[in-house]
């Protein structure tokens, strides 16, 4: 899956923790190449940085 997100773009993404999925918004910080493909670092309005899977990230309208 190719990385279609550029730095500074506003995105919506989902995080999963303890069996609960939460929808969040943030901006793309950088692209991170990992062993299992590419992930995107996203910073939300509170300043927390997440690395969701690309399938969980979508551009904000």
Q: What is the mean pLDDT of the chain?
A: 89
C-alpha triplet 15, 4, 55: angle, nearest 5°: 30
Report the pLDDT value the prediction gives residue 2, as an integer from 0 to 100: 63
Q: 28: burial class by Cβ within 10 Å (0-12, 13-18, 19+)?
A: buried
How far CA 22 is from CA of 12, 45, 55, in Å, comes to 11, 15, 14
The pLDDT of residue 53 is above 80 = yes
Choice between 3 and 4, residue whose per-residue pLDDT is larger: 4
The pLDDT of residue 55 is above 80 = yes
Q: What average pLDDT score do residues 15-44 get?
A: 90
The pLDDT of residue 50 is above 60 = yes
């Amino acid at each position: 899956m190719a990385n279609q997100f550029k730095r500074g773009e506003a995105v919506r993404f989902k995080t999963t923790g303890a069996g609960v999925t939460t929808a969040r918004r943030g901006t793309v910080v950088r692209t991170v190449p990992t062993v299992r493909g590419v992930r995107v670092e996203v910073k939300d309005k509170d300043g927390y940085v997440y690395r969701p899977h690309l399938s969980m990230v979508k551009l904000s309208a």
